[in-house]
Chain A
Amino acid sequence: MSLTALLQNCARSFPDGTRALHPTTLEFAAGSVTALLGPSGCGKTTTLRLLAGLAMPDAGGRVLFDGTDVTGLPVEQRGIGMVFQNYALFPNRDVAGNIGYGLEVRGVPKAERTARVAEMLRLTRLEGLGHRRVDQLSGGQRQRVALARALAPAPRLLLLDEPFGALDARLREALRAELAALLATLRITTIFVTHDQAEAMALGDQVVVMQSGRVLQQGSPRAVYQQPANRFVGQFVGTLNHLGGDRFCRPEALRPDPAGTLGGVVLVSFFEGGHTRLHLRPEVPGAEGEWVLNLGGTVPAAGSRMTLALDSAAVLHLPA
C-alpha cells in the first residue's frame, strides 16, 4: 500500500546558481509520517516538489520509490497524491467532481468512480456536500476536499504543502487531530511541509528540520526537542533559555525553589489558561536574553525576584 521514498544526493539550483537545496539525502520509511519543518526559504517546499516530480533535481540527484528510479518521471506518472497550499480546487467542478477527477483521468468507469467518491466523502466527513460548488465551502471543508481528492486514486505517497496554512488557529488544531487519525488508519507514507513546530511535532513520526537549503536534523519529535543538534534547531523547535556559554535549557527544566541556585526578575507574565507563561531577566553572569518558564497556580507579580532550581540532567550544550 505505501512505499519507501528516497531522495539521493538531491540538490536544486536556481538559474543564477544559488542553491534552493544543497545536496541532500533523505529516506522516508513506508507508512511513516514526516514533517519537513523550517522557516520560509529553508528548502522544505523544494524538497516536497522534488518528491512530487514538480521539480527536477540537479544532475547527480536521484529520487527513488521503493528502489525504483523515478527521477525522470513527471508528476502525472508518479502516482502520488498531493494537497496544495491553497488547496487548488477546480472552481468549475463541484465537490464530487473535484474528488473524482483523478479517477476520471485514469478512465475508471462511472459507477466505480461514484462509489469511490462516496467513500471518500464519508472518510473526510463531507457527506451530503458532493454537489456543492467549491466556492460555497468553508476553509476546513476545502481542506478536506483537497485531501479527499488526493486520496481518491489510492496513492502510495501523500504529499501535503502547508496543509493547515490557510486556516485559523482553532480550526488548525481540530483538523490536525482529524488528519492524524485519518493517516493512522490509512498507513500511507506521508510527507508534509510546515513552518509550525507544534504541527510538526503533533503529526509527524519524524521531523526533518531545515534551514537555508540544508537538513539540520532528522529524528523523532521527542529526540529533536530533547537533543537538538544546534542552537537554531533548539530555538525553532520550542524555547531555549540561555544559561551562559554554550549551556541552554528548556523552560520545564527550571522550577521555582527557595533553595535554588539561580535567580531572575519577573518582567512580564501571560496567562494562557492552563498555565502562565513568565518572562524573566536572568541574574546569572553570561546569560543572554530572557528566560521563559511556564507555571501553574498563582505567579509572582512583575518586578519580583524568583529563586529557581535547575534540573542539571536537562542542560543542553549547543554550539552556535
Chain B
Amino acid sequence: MARRSESAGPFLLRAALLAPALVLLLAFFLLPLAKLAMLGFEGQGYWAAITAPRSLRALRDTVLLSAAVSFSAVALAAVVGHFLARRRFPGRRLLVAMLTLPMAFPGVVVGFLVILLAGRQGLVGSVTEALFGERLVFAYSFAGLFAGYLYFSLPRCIATIMAAAEALDPALEEAARSLGARRWRVVRDVILPGLAPALVASGAICFATAMGALGTAFTLATDTSVLPMLIYTEFTLATNLGVAASLSVLLGATTWVVLALARGASGSLAANA
C-alpha cells in the first residue's frame, strides 16, 4: 500500500515525462490516421471503394502473395538460420554479411534484379531457350513478384531466426537424442518449439512488409496489381483521395487482423505443446 501512495504522489512529474511521447503519438500517429480514416468518407465512400471488384481482387492477391512469401521465407530461413547458427566453416562470416546485403536495396532494385533473372532478356530465359528451345519468362507475373518479395524478406527472417537459434541450448537437442529421438523428432520436438517465437515474429514482420511493398511490385507488375499499387494509382494518377484513403485503411486493417490471428494461433499452439 505504501508503494501505491508513493506512485500516486508524483503524478504531475509522470505526466510531464510522458507528455513528449504523447505529443509524438498524437502528431505522427493518431492524427494522420484519423485524418486518413475521415478522408475515406469522401467521394464514393468506403463501401464502394472497398467492394469494387478491382479492389477485392487486389486485396485477395496481396494477402495470398504476402502469406505465401511469409511462409516460404520463414521455412527457408529456419533451415538456413539454424545451420548458420550451429556450423562453423570457412567463409561463414562473409556469407552472413552478404546475406544482409539485400536489406539495403530499395524495392525498385529488387524488381530490377528479378527482371535480370527472369525477364524477357533474363538469365532463366536464355538457359531455358538453350535447353528446351523456349524462353521461360516469369518476372512480370505473380511468380516474379513472389521471387522479388522472397528476396527482400529472407535476410530479415534469417537474421532474426539465426539469433534465436544461437540462443537455443544445444544440450536440449543432445538430451532428445540421448532419449532415442532421431533427426526429425529432434526438429519437431526441440528445435521448432524453441524457435517458434522467432518464427512467428519474423513471419509477422515479413507479412506486414510484403503487404505494404510498392517498389518491387511497381517495377514488375504489368499483369498483376497489388493493393499498394492500386493506392498509388488512385492517389497520384487519379487524384482520387477518398478511394486511396479507404484502400489504405483496408490494407492496414487486413494486415492487423491477419497478424492478430497468427499471434493467437501461435499462442495457443505454444500453450498446447
Q: Smallest distance from the beta carbon of B267 to chain A beta carbons, Å? A: 13
CB contacts (< 8 Å) of B193 on chain A: these are 90, 92
B-binding residues in A (CB < 8 A): 52, 54, 74-77, 79-82, 84-86, 88-93, 101-102, 105-106, 149-150, 153
The 25 sampled A-B contact pairs (Cβ below 8 Å) are A52-B178, A54-B178, A75-B174, A76-B177, A76-B179, A76-B180, A80-B178, A81-B178, A82-B174, A82-B175, A84-B171, A86-B171, A90-B172, A90-B176, A90-B190, A90-B193, A92-B194, A92-B270, A92-B273, A101-B181, A102-B179, A105-B179, A105-B185, A106-B180, A149-B175
Q: Sorted from nearest, which 4 A-B pairs have the closest CB atoms?
A: A102-B179, A88-B171, A88-B175, A82-B178
Grouping DSSP codes into helix (H, G, I), strand (E, B) and loop, the B interface class, with mixed when no group exceeds half, is: helix
Q: Smallest distance from the beta carbon of B173 to chain A beta carbons, Å? A: 9
Q: A101-B176, A105-B179, A150-B178 are in contact. List 18 more A-B contacts (CB 8 A).
A: A52-B178, A74-B177, A80-B178, A84-B175, A86-B169, A88-B169, A89-B175, A90-B175, A90-B176, A93-B273, A101-B181, A101-B189, A105-B180, A105-B181, A105-B185, A106-B180, A149-B175, A153-B180
Q: Smallest distance from the beta carbon of B45 to chain A beta carbons, Å? A: 49
CB contacts (< 8 Å) of A85 on chain B: these are 171
Whole-angstrom CA separation of A88 from B174 in the bound complex:
9
Q: How many residues of B contact A (CB 8 A)?
A: 19
A-binding residues in B (CB < 8 A): 169, 171-172, 174-182, 185, 189-190, 193-194, 270, 273
Whole-angstrom CA separation of A149 from B177 in the bound complex:
13
Q: Which of A76, A80, A88, A90 contacts B189 (CB 8 A)?
A: A90
CB contacts (< 8 Å) of B172 on chain A: these are 88, 90
Q: Smallest distance from the beta carbon of B94 to chain A beta carbons, Å? A: 20
Q: Which of A91, A92, A153 contacts B179 (CB 8 A)?
A: A153
On whether the beta carbons of B177 and A101 are closer than 8 Å, the reply is no
Whole-angstrom CA separation of A80 from B178 in the bound complex:
7
Whole-angstrom CA separation of A52 from B175 in the bound complex:
11
Whole-angstrom CA separation of A93 from B179 in the bound complex:
15
CB contacts (< 8 Å) of B174 on chain A: these are 54, 75, 82, 84, 88
On whether the beta carbons of B182 and A76 are closer than 8 Å, the reply is yes
CB contacts (< 8 Å) of A79 on chain B: these are 180
Which residue of B has the minimal Cβ distance to A161? B171
Whole-angstrom CA separation of A40 from B176 in the bound complex:
26
Whole-angstrom CA separation of A76 from B182 in the bound complex:
7
CB contacts (< 8 Å) of B185 on chain A: these are 105
Q: Smallest distance from the beta carbon of A39 to chain B beta carbons, Å? A: 22
Q: Smallest distance from the beta carbon of B189 to chain A beta carbons, Å? A: 7
Whole-angstrom CA separation of A51 from B169 in the bound complex:
21
Whole-angstrom CA separation of A80 from B270 in the bound complex:
30
Q: Which of B169, B171, B179, B190 contacts A149 (CB 8 A)?
A: B179
CB contacts (< 8 Å) of A75 on chain B: these are 174, 177-178
Which residue of B has the minimal Cβ distance to A106? B180
Q: Smallest distance from the beta carbon of B194 to chain A beta carbons, Å? A: 8
Whole-angstrom CA separation of A81 from B180 in the bound complex:
9
Given A90-B190, A92-B270, A92-B273; A76-B171 close (CB under 8 Å): no
Chain B CB within 10 Å, residue with most, of A89, A105, A106? A105
Q: Smallest distance from the beta carbon of A50 to chain B beta carbons, Å? A: 14
Which residue of A has the minimal Cβ distance to B179? A102
CB contacts (< 8 Å) of B273 on chain A: these are 92-93
Whole-angstrom CA separation of A106 from B178 in the bound complex:
12
CB contacts (< 8 Å) of A54 on chain B: these are 174, 177-178
Which residue of A has the minimal Cβ distance to B171? A88
On whether the beta carbons of B270 and A101 are closer than 8 Å, the reply is no
On whether the beta carbons of B180 and A102 are closer than 8 Å, the reply is yes
Whole-angstrom CA separation of A91 from B169 in the bound complex:
11
Whole-angstrom CA separation of A80 from B189 in the bound complex:
19
Whole-angstrom CA separation of A288 from B42 in the bound complex:
97
Whole-angstrom CA separation of A102 from B270 in the bound complex:
21
Whole-angstrom CA separation of A89 from B189 in the bound complex:
12
Whole-angstrom CA separation of A54 from B185 in the bound complex:
17
Whole-angstrom CA separation of A268 from B175 in the bound complex:
47
Q: Smallest distance from the beta carbon of B191 to chain A beta carbons, Å? A: 11
CB contacts (< 8 Å) of B169 on chain A: these are 86, 88
Whole-angstrom CA separation of A84 from B178 in the bound complex:
10
Q: Smallest distance from the beta carbon of A98 to chain B beta carbons, Å? A: 9
Which residue of A has the minimal Cβ distance to B192? A92
On whether the beta carbons of B178 and A76 are closer than 8 Å, the reply is yes
Which residue of A has the minimal Cβ distance to B180? A105
CB contacts (< 8 Å) of B177 on chain A: these are 54, 74-76
Chain B CB within 10 Å, residue with most, of A76, A79, A89, A101? A76
Q: Smallest distance from the beta carbon of A189 to chain B beta carbons, Å? A: 15
Whole-angstrom CA separation of A93 from B194 in the bound complex:
11
Whole-angstrom CA separation of A81 from B175 in the bound complex:
9
CB contacts (< 8 Å) of A93 on chain B: these are 273
